[in-house]
Amino acid sequence: MSSSPDEDPPAPTEPERWRDLDMLLSRPGNLVDANFAPSPGLRDMLGSLVEVLVVGAGGLGCELLKDLALSGFKNLHVIDMDTIDVSNLNRQFLFRVQDVGKSKAEVAAKRVMERVSGVNIVPHFCRIEDKEIEFYSDFSIIVLGLDSIEARSYINSVACGFLEYDSDDKPIPETIKFMVDGGTEGFKGHARVIIPGTTPCFECNIWLFPPQVKFPLCTLAETPRTAAHCIEYAHLIKWNEVHPGKPFDADDAEHMQWIYSEALKRAELFGISGVTYSFTQGVVKNIIPAIASTNAIVSAACALEALKLMSGCSKTVSNYLTYNGIVGTHINVSEFVRDKDCLVCGPGTLIKLDASTTLSEFIKMLEEHPKLLMSRASVTHEGDNLYMQAPEVLEQMTRQNLGVPMFELLKGATRATVHVTGMAENNGKKKSSLRKLRVAFNGVEEASKMDESS
Ligand SMILES: [Zn+2]
């Protein structure tokens, strides 16, 4: 790779760059959304009014930032905790050799801003969990370019947490946080549109993402059948036998070489072929081969869905597009349905309290509630921290609320929506979860009416 920013061809001039987009946004059509208002100024409105958050600045994230910037979005933010590795350079095309070690979010933002004039991209070099929930409330749409189920699940619960329902259990439009989720794995990919309360959220059909395959240890130890079994034997069993107490470091070439030669010995013993150094790296580091074209295809679909959602210039995919390039090329769209009992995008589990129930009693109820089983809960109401388990300074500040009745903390409202975060069981694993709960008080109707009239 010898390209550098200096050698890039000049960017097209305005308004030539926007000719096709303007055509799409300024003309009516048969396939447009019912609310579409074509106008020559629509692109400017899109640029000035819509704030987009891109989650992830890796293979898919680089493509997404470029595609969204070239689709008329001018206010973008990008969040990613990773730094650039030399192995990223073959497909994460915004990065150069001299960027190795720097923040992906910061470099990606800078590169796209250099190339597309008028675009502002704010980078956030941190974990998604490090941001306050309120940070996510500013965006009209969140586009996900992630490779982790946990991170998707977290963003999904945050975005769905903003959703409010009216008294008929219909989603209130202003509280809907749109999401477009992209994902790729080798030659396969998907792009899905999530409209919380209308289309299924990530949690409604989490079964689409089966848990990662792990080999049973007995297979590794006794009956290896594949090259991967031999590698995992060397990695998970042999390393600890030979190097007790010494942690294995996947980025240490000597360690990797040791695993490779041990795996090779074992493969020879059992007459198994296919153990190579690069395959060893792939298995140990759990590397899924990344294909730049798959990222480009999935990102293009995601950016187009974002444009359609925000402008109404055409109907969006309903609601899950899959791309498969393994044998030929197949694109398919499936329409999944919402799980009406979903704990994340539904109206929220209803919890009935007495006017005297204290916050600490409420937290105890969450632990025992059969649908929630949430331990170590932190509780917020409309952005106010009622009780925080961590960090220590917030715990100290909110500790005195534990003995106060919830009715008082919620300022005498007979019904309220609260958000709780804590450890809960999800897809068979105990992990950090965010839940929206509806709290109602038994027999305090009268008191609240008096409050309103006073
Ligand atoms: Zn859901």
332 Cβ partners below 8 Å, 6+ apart? 321, 322, 324
What mean pLDDT value characterizes the chain? 89
CA distances (Å), origin 212, targets 149, 215, 239, 324? 10, 10, 22, 20
Name the more confident of 360 and 444. Answer: 360
**Given pLDDT bands bounded at 50, 70 and 90, which one contains residue 319?**
very high
Domains and CATH numbers, the chain: 14-20+31-210+290-334 (3.40.50.720), 217-285 (1.10.10.520), 349-441 (3.10.290.20)
Alpha-carbon distance of 60 to 91, in angstroms, equals: 9
| pTM, two decimal places | 0.76
Q: How far is the CA of 172 from the centre of ligand 1 (A)?
A: 16
Residue 157 CA to ligand 1 centre (angstroms): 9
Residue 159 alpha carbon to ligand 1 centre in Å: 11
State mean pLDDT over 209-216: 66
* Coil vs helix vs strand at 336: coil
- Note the pLDDT tens digit of each residue in 158-179: 999 899 888 788 899 999 999 9
CA–centroid distance, 413 to ligand 1, in Å, is 27
Instruction: Give CA separation, 416 vs 47, 347, 411, 440, in Å.
Output: 35, 12, 10, 7
Dihedral (CA of 340, 343, 348, 350) sign = positive
Q: How far is the CA of 194 from the centre of ligand 1 (A)?
A: 9
What is the rounded distance in angstroms from the CA atom of residue 263 to the CA atom of residue 266? 5
Cis omega before residue 28 (within 30°)? Answer: no
Q: In one letter, which amino acid is 410? A: L
Read off φ and ψ for residue 179, nearest 5 degrees.
-135, 145
Do 297 and 143 form a contact (C-beta atoms < 8 A)? no
Integer Cα distance of 329 and 48 in angstroms:
37
CA of 193 to the centre of ligand 1 (A): 13
Q: Tokens representing 307?
A: 């444009």
What are the strands, taking DSSP E only, across 151-301? 178-185, 188-194
**In this predicted model, which residue has the larger pLDDT, 448 or 213?**
213
Q: Which of 160, 218, 230, 302 is catalytic?
A: 218
Give pLDDT, residue 451.
47
Asked if 218 is an active-site residue, the reply is yes
Cis preceding-peptide flag for 205 (omega within 30 of 0): no
Q: Say how far apart CA 201 and CA 249 lie, in whole Å.
A: 37
Quick: pLDDT tens for 101-126.
Answer: 999 999 999 999 999 999 999 999 99
- For 210, the 3-state DSSP assignment is coil
pLDDT of 212: 58
Q: How confident is the model at residue 454 (pLDDT cuts 50, 70, 90)?
A: very low
339 CA → ligand 1 middle, Å = 6
| pLDDT above 90 coverage of the chain, percent | 66
What DSSP designation does 419 have? E
Classify burial at 141, counting beta carbons within 10 Å of its beta carbon; exposed 0-12, middle 13-18, buried 19 or more: buried
